[in-house]
Chains A and B, each alone.
Chain A
């Protein structure tokens, strides 16, 4: 032990030393670090952009594309994107009075429009009646084997006492049709050899009243019968009731994304509360709570989704979104609760928590400072993965006819409708299906990215 007397020097400030290079990085919080890592993941970033884009499409879209998704344009049913839409103004439809039409043979009684095609023909000696057919192929079109007598759609049977005339109004499209009138002989046998055929080019027509009502006529100039107008524009085509696909996709996005995001959000929230309660309190309470959660997990999910749907019922005019939401929450929470409980139990035993407790941290501080931040990552990842499965559930329920109630569109119900017509108007299936797929994919990849970014332990090797 030296007991030297302190000198003056000992009380003077130390000389400044040359600053040493210190290896410090700016302190990164957990979230900053996660964000940094997420940004390095191109797939996750693209997915994030898609998700943001979808939200914009859903929330801002309807403000830009102001078209009522329930509005039916019966002049344009199931038209694909980019179809022609020029129409002629015609007189309002009136019942046909069947005046004599000059000429012989199968002929048109008036101009053929999508409003009606009026045919007249002459008597046939052995005809008990006449069957009228409408085909889209010319009679010269090579018949496929065993379909020699294929004449297209049988429109109706006309008995001669009702007149030798037929008016076709059945879903006329502005294309060329071939009408066949076939005499029906005794014993309901079609006398195919005596059939007459006419080629009819149908023009798209709309009445002035209809055009005015739909705002297709510019107010400035006078429009009259015979003029041409452009029908309403449907950038993504229309569905089977002539409703605008784009508008329906936007409103459908609201429903699908609402269910897809809000339901998981709610049940994850519920699961977190339940799970952290169980995990934190522990003991008998924990046992009881988790046993109940096990019960709920054991309920067959889809069966109970269907049962709840009939239990809650959908009242008149209701969309059925809320019942579906409730059912999803009731059945969805236990998985998160289990996960969170496990995490809490684990974290409770971590040394940093013990250390904090030793240093006298109050419970509230422990929860706020250690428990929540350390589980939040897991919770966020769970949430992201829950979204695609909720969207799938909605689509599935719509497919078996247990989804949202019409006229509320959802991507699921739209694809369900589209699947029936996929051979003739594929756009009705493809569009909503693409939206479902892209959304599900985006959330899945985002979830992957988040998992990698938020939790090094859960990092998947790519």
Chain B
């Protein structure tokens, strides 16, 4: 197990190097000039700026410096906010995206499991049909439509009640988090509901459930210990990829709900061609996802002996 863990970690590091290299070269072949601004500048000022960001050196040297800096955990200084370090930017904005993402994943997972189990119980009866219709909407409506409609219904609700039940946008309290996280988790929740439903139905007819019934076990116990527990396993396998989708998919929600997350910041820095922020954010996100996947794999191996690798 330790050898396996170590191997995975080393692989992860190499993957991060690959991401860093790809990002570096992609960025340096992007057309456009990050140092230009609406007011034209003199050659001298340009040269000064290039020197500050090391853009005057040959590409291989820049690459070397870049890798060295990443290795020492320094992602450089932003081009647009010339007095802020990329590390600071990530430190400030990532927890926001993470908070939103974690809550969305939990919403999605809990919602998916509960709704899925419920629909399986009510198989082909009214609640099942209604929920499955909503699920169909959930997987087929683009997230930005949800986000816009979610905000609109919030405003309408507040207006109708005459008090602000939940904030419409912004950041600062847990209440700000609820609707955006729900919107963000909606697609995944719908997907997981479907998965959970079919997984539940499969388990209901499984031998061990029949055996448990034959043994005269309490139905509640059978439901929880045999059906639910086994039905959840496939749902957990897809959670890893779902986390990745949700954390990077936060862009839309962050834009619409004015949430200061890293995703929104990334889109802005691309528009400004802020090299250091783009590269820093990409490497950070890439690294984060790589190690998340490794962590999920390892944890999963611990939970379910059947899939323990090697």
**Which A residues are closer than 8 A to B by beta carbons?**
291, 294-295, 298-304, 306-308, 310-311, 313, 388, 392, 395-396, 399-402, 412, 415-416, 419, 422-423, 429, 433, 436-438, 440-441, 444, 460-462
Q: Is the CB of A419 within 8 A of B145?
A: yes
Q: Provide 21 A-B residue pairs closer than 8 Å at the C-beta atoms, listed in order of the A residue.
A: A295-B19, A298-B18, A298-B286, A298-B290, A299-B22, A300-B19, A302-B248, A302-B251, A303-B266, A304-B26, A307-B23, A308-B26, A311-B26, A311-B30, A388-B140, A396-B144, A402-B267, A402-B270, A415-B142, A444-B140, A462-B198
- Distance in angstroms from A77 CB to nearest chain B CB is 22
Give the CA-CA distance A335 to B26 in the complex, in Å. 22
CB neighbours (8 Å) of A396 from chain B are: 142-144, 251-252
Q: Is the CB of B286 within 8 A of A433?
A: no
Which of A299, A400, A433 lies in contact with B19, CB distance below 8 A?
A: A299
Q: Is the CB of B255 within 8 A of A301?
A: no
Q: A311-B26, A399-B142, A444-B139 are in contact. Are A300 and B15 (CB under 8 A)?
A: no
- Distance in angstroms from A448 CB to nearest chain B CB is 9
Q: Is the CB of B248 within 8 A of A307?
A: no
Chain A CB within 8 A of B202 CB: yes
Give the CA-CA distance A388 to B139 in the complex, in Å. 10
Q: Is the CB of A422 within 8 A of B148?
A: yes
Give the CA-CA distance A304 to B137 in the complex, in Å. 28
Chain A CB within 8 A of B305 CB: no
Q: Is the CB of A306 within 8 A of B145?
A: no
* 11 further interface pairs, Cβ-Cβ under 8 Å (given A298-B15, A298-B18, A307-B282): A291-B11, A300-B285, A306-B266, A306-B270, A400-B255, A412-B142, A441-B136, A441-B139, A461-B198, A461-B201, A461-B205
CB neighbours (8 Å) of B140 from chain A are: 388, 436-438, 440-441, 444
Q: Is the CB of A461 within 8 A of B249?
A: no
Give the CA-CA distance A394 to B162 in the complex, in Å. 39
- Distance in angstroms from A418 CB to nearest chain B CB is 9
Chain A CB within 8 A of B29 CB: yes
By beta carbon, the residue of chain A nearest B285 is: A300
Give the CA-CA distance A298 to B198 in the complex, in Å. 30
By beta carbon, the residue of chain A nearest B143 is: A396
Give the CA-CA distance A362 to B98 in the complex, in Å. 54
By beta carbon, the residue of chain A nearest B248 is: A302
Q: Is the CB of B202 within 8 A of A437?
A: no
Q: Is the CB of A307 within 8 A of B286?
A: no
Interface residues of B in 145-172 (CB under 8 A from A): 145, 148, 152
- Distance in angstroms from A373 CB to nearest chain B CB is 26
CB neighbours (8 Å) of B143 from chain A are: 396
Which of A303, A401, A402, A436 lies in contact with B248, CB distance below 8 A?
A: A303
CB neighbours (8 Å) of A422 from chain B are: 148, 152
Which of B11, B26, B32, B144 lies in contact with A416, CB distance below 8 A?
A: B144
Which of B29, B136, B139 lies in contact with A311, CB distance below 8 A?
A: B29
Q: Is the CB of A461 within 8 A of B202?
A: yes
Chain A CB within 8 A of B141 CB: yes
Q: Is the CB of B248 within 8 A of A300?
A: yes
Give the CA-CA distance A415 to B252 in the complex, in Å. 14
- Distance in angstroms from A438 CB to nearest chain B CB is 7
Q: Is the CB of B249 within 8 A of A298?
A: no
CB neighbours (8 Å) of B252 from chain A are: 396, 399-400
- Distance in angstroms from A459 CB to nearest chain B CB is 10
